[in-house]
Amino acid sequence: MKTFIVTVTAQPGHDADVTRYYEGLAPVLAEANGFIGRKIFRSRTGEMATAVRKAYTEEELAKHAEPPHEDPGTTFIIVEQWESVDDRIEFGKQTGKRNVELIPHLLPAHSHEFFDELTG
C-alpha cells in the first residue's frame, strides 16, 4: 500500500470551492484502479489563535507577540491510500484535466508526494 498526501491552501473565501472539488472526486476515485481510501482535512483557520488569546493573559501574550498578518487562507490535507504508485499516477493522468477547476481557487504553494508511515 502507498500513501499519497496533498497539501493545498485555498485563497481566502474559496474554501467552499476547494471542498466541492475534492468531494466531487469521490465517485471517480471509487472507480479508480488500486484506490483504497481517502481522508480530507480542512483547517479551522484562526481557531488556534482565538483559543490562545482566551487562555493567556495580555501580559503572557506580549512576551510572545506576533506581527499582524493577513488571512492565510484555508489549508487542506488530502491523504489517499493506493495499492501502488503506478495506480495513483494513472489516476492523475486520467483526471488531470479536472485540475483546471481547482487551480483558480488555490494559493500558489502546494505539495504532493508519496509518504512512508514511520509509526502506526
Tell me the domains of the chain and their CATH numbers: 2-115 (3.30.70.100)
Q: What are the distances in angstroms from CA 60 to CA 46, 51, 63, 66, 68?
A: 19, 14, 5, 12, 17
DSSP-assigned states of every residue in 84-97: -HHHHHHHHHHHGG
Cβ contact 8:99 at 8 Å = no
pLDDT at res. 90: 95
Does residue 68 surpass a pLDDT of 80? no
- Residues found in the chain: 120
Tell me: the pLDDT tens digits for 91-115? Answer: 999 887 888 999 999 999 999 999 9
Average pLDDT value for residue range 8-29: 95
